[in-house]
Structure 1
Amino acid sequence: MNMTKHKAYLVLNAGSSSLKFSVFRQATGSTELQTILSGQIAGIGSLATFEAKDASRRVLAKHSWNESDSNSRDIMLQYLLDWISSTLVDDQIVAAGHRVVHGGRFLGLPMKVTPALLNDLEQLVPLAPLHQPHNLAPIHILARNHPELDQVACFDTAFHSTQPKQAKTYALPRALSDEGVCKYGFHGLSYEYVSKQLLATRPELASGHIVICHLGNGSSLCAVKDGRSMDTTMGFTALDGVPMGTRSGSIDPGVLLYLMREKKMDLEAIEDLLYRRSGLLGVSGLSNDMKVLEESDDPHAKEAVDLFCFRVAKEVAAMAASMGGLDALVFTAGIGENSPYIRNMIAQRLAWLGVKLDADANSSRQFNISATDARVPTFVVPTNEEMMIAKHAMNLLAAA
């Protein structure tokens, strides 16, 4: 009997209170990947729970931990690995791929994890203190408890490393820029995946000017030309750009000086305001969930939705200006993929650029939602950052 197992890749996306995971199977003799397991550990630090599903989204397992164990990422990650090992009969995990939010100025490609790389990534914690430590935690745990398992770090900033200098530079003293106070951009794994999917379907756009709108609880836009990032709305941090679920987006720095001077707000209060109490939640006073706001008859909810669409449309035009044209518009992520209303509101504001939607195609979530007489085609392309990470892990190990 042939007992050769399929190669499989574990993808981990670790946050402050959650650990999302997916497992991808590599077909024998092929580079095609198939999702076979997914799920998450939620409630880390309080009362953690585990749920796993198969490829058809059927729940396979649930588990919970007491308060003490819920604070131990070691215990929970080992439970996940043991469960995967006992569940996969025909597959063997050969590598773990990780989403790491920050790769700094010099890491423009996925990297195999080494002690030296981990040390470099730890040095970037001050640039992303709310994300980077949590991204690195499972890497440290696996390196310590399973040193035989190859690990690959994939950076959310890497896709934007191709941007020209003027797109990355703030008008600050050069000494600060030289220290790394510059624009990095995020959601790079999403933009990489979406641009590859679009160009595989519409190869005539390979050298085109494409604006991708990654609209979700965290939102940003990216200008893509020749398949490379030319500009993006997020900057030094993931606070910049358009309003988000609870994040403010771009704001006059003078507002912060005012709040510190007149309202006596300290660093922690400002951080809490900008990251957790602003955006759609702050404007509406109701919710950070776009679906809730769309369905609400509260005038403040409508104001929040209108502001969001106004700012996104404004940034589409800015992205087009950055790269000198607009040949296609793409919507992706939770809001971008699932809200015909938001897509239509944004498109109406971009009619002067040649954007026009077909109402039926838009409402039925088709791939091409453009009107037949639109000068600029508009597409809906579902993102899959986990698949992108798995592909990077597979390709990096194959090249080793």
Structure 2
Amino acid sequence: MTTAILVLNAGSSSVKFAVFPEDRGEEPLLSGAVGRIGGNASVSILPAGGERKSEGVDAPTHAAALAVLATKLASHLPDATITGIGHRVVHGGALYSEPVVVDDGVLASLDTLTPLAPLHLPQGLEGIRTARALFPNARQIGCFDTAFHAEKPWLHNSFALPQSYYDAGLRRYGFHGLSCQSILRGLRDEGYPVADRKFVIAHLGNGCSATAVLGGKGHATTMGFSALDGLIMGTRCGQIDPGVLLYWMGQGKSAEEIETLLYRQSGLLGLSGLSNDMRDLEQSDDPAAARAIEAFVARAVEEICRLAGTMGGLDAVVFCGGIGENAASIRDRIMAGLTFLSSPEMLVRPTREELEIALSVRNLLSRAT
């Protein structure tokens, strides 16, 4: 009998998973994902030392996708007992700055945060509830994307609003924290002098953010109160003048209409009118695709320069995420815009959010025994 940790990373239309031994090792026994949930869904499975296999599945909801994963897990690892399940939770608000065992009270408090991350948090919480039903004897542990940024200076954590709003929780929380933790862990393992360098982690994918790291800790970041702010993303607008929102409200747009526009119809998709996928845009001859890419690069350069200003310099940019790892031309264009900053070093590293979650779960389980 093998005791194991299951990691679940629920996105807006997918669920990634990985199974790790409970007590040792950084390589998963099994990993994979269910993609295109609610549409033409498919599951991909990668056993340790094996080949990835994919097949179509019926997964109209995230709960159905998790049921598919539970079945696949039982067939591939029949002797495994899941003792802990780690969940990526996008937003912990001001309540949670470290991993926590999720009980009914924690779930209720997280429900109140769903307006802050409507693309991801509802699916994550659905995943936790479904996992509790599928694996009733396993501890459910939430690991928060906002936690990494919790110790950044007040100067980079606040808005220029009355202090009472800050005290009520209106802050620049920041996101992609698990990715940042993973990158820092990997750099330290390589022997990179993390504590002595001023660098920016550019997590570029369908969601995008850049985070300044100073003294080995998160210092400032582009995302703020929600996962909307900062860089241009796949379907999210990034930085926008709040006056635009006031104008729309004056024109009669509802909060729901504005939320849909900002989260699901903007970004690369909105600018190009073609796709939210950088790969599609790079292959397109449409001038709108070229303009969208140009805007994406320009905003990334602007924000990295701003973050360099908060640190008083820039030694390196670490690219990660789907675009950051795989789109060499985008990386090169961003770095070309930064050459005036004494030509910072460019690093490209994979982010291992699932491993980061597994290590946190392993730590909590060991403390509980």
What TM-score comes out, normalization by structure 2 length? 0.92
Conservation of the 8 A alpha-carbon contact between 1:199 and 1:206: no
The worse-fitting range, judged by mean Cα deviation, of 125-134 and 382-391 is 125-134
Letter in 2 for 1:86: S
**Structure 1 counterpart of 2:215, from 221, 226, 245:** 226
Counterpart-to-counterpart distance in 2, 1:64 and 1:384? 26
**Structure 2 counterpart of 1:31, from 24, 29, 53:** 24
Structure 2 residue 360 is matched with structure 1 residue 392:
yes
Counterpart-to-counterpart distance in 2, 1:311 and 1:280? 12
The worse-fitting range, judged by mean Cα deviation, of 228-237 and 126-135 is 126-135
Counterpart-to-counterpart distance in 1, 2:321 and 2:31? 18
CA gap 1:136/1:308 in 2 versus in 1, 3 angstroms: same
**1:52 corresponds to:** 45
Letter in 2 for 1:70: P
The worse-fitting range, judged by mean Cα deviation, of 174-183 and 227-236 is 174-183
Q: Which aligned pairs between 1:52-131 and structure 2 lie closer than 5 A?
A: 52-55=45-48, 58-60=51-53, 62=55, 64-65=57-58, 70-71=60-61, 73=63, 76-89=65-78, 91-131=80-120
Q: What is the Cα deviation at residue 42 of structure 1? A: 3.6
Letter in 1 for 2:230: G
Letter in 1 for 2:332: N
Counterpart-to-counterpart distance in 2, 1:42 and 1:383? 19
Counterpart-to-counterpart distance in 1, 2:232 and 2:72? 39
Structure 2 residue 290 is matched with structure 1 residue 305:
no
The worse-fitting range, judged by mean Cα deviation, of 307-316 and 322-331 is 322-331
Q: What is the Cα deviation at residue 115 of structure 1? A: 2.7
CA gap 1:70/1:339 in 2 versus in 1, 3 angstroms: closer
CA gap 1:57/1:174 in 2 versus in 1, 3 angstroms: farther
- What runs of 5+ residues in structure 2 fail to find an aligned partner? none
Counterpart-to-counterpart distance in 2, 1:76 and 1:269? 28
CA gap 1:60/1:299 in 2 versus in 1, 3 angstroms: closer
Q: What is the Cα deviation at residue 119 of structure 1? A: 2.6
SS at match of 1:38: strand
Q: What is the Cα deviation at residue 76 of structure 1? A: 4.6
Structure 2 residue 331 is matched with structure 1 residue 343:
yes
Conservation of the 8 A alpha-carbon contact between 2:62 and 2:127: no
**Structure 2 counterpart of 1:383, from 339, 345, 351:** 351
The alignment of Structure 1 onto Structure 2 pairs a total of residues equal to: 368
Q: Which aligned pairs between 1:220-299 and structure 2 lie closer than 5 A?
A: 220-262=209-251, 264-299=252-287
User: Which has the higher Rg, Structure 1 or Structure 2?
Assistant: 1
Counterpart-to-counterpart distance in 1, 2:169 and 2:253? 27
Counterpart-to-counterpart distance in 1, 2:309 and 2:86? 35
Counterpart-to-counterpart distance in 2, 1:202 and 1:72? 40
How many percent identity over aligned positions?
Answer: 45
Structure 2 residue 15 is matched with structure 1 residue 19:
yes
CA gap 1:188/1:260 in 2 versus in 1, 3 angstroms: same
CA gap 1:233/1:150 in 2 versus in 1, 3 angstroms: same
**Structure 2 counterpart of 1:208, from 197, 204, 213:** 197
Counterpart-to-counterpart distance in 2, 1:281 and 1:107? 33
The worse-fitting range, judged by mean Cα deviation, of 207-216 and 123-132 is 123-132
Counterpart-to-counterpart distance in 2, 1:341 and 1:132? 32
SS at match of 1:189: helix
**1:366 corresponds to:** none
Counterpart-to-counterpart distance in 2, 1:78 and 1:340? 37
Q: What is the Cα deviation at residue 47 of structure 1? A: 6.2
CA gap 1:77/1:46 in 2 versus in 1, 3 angstroms: same
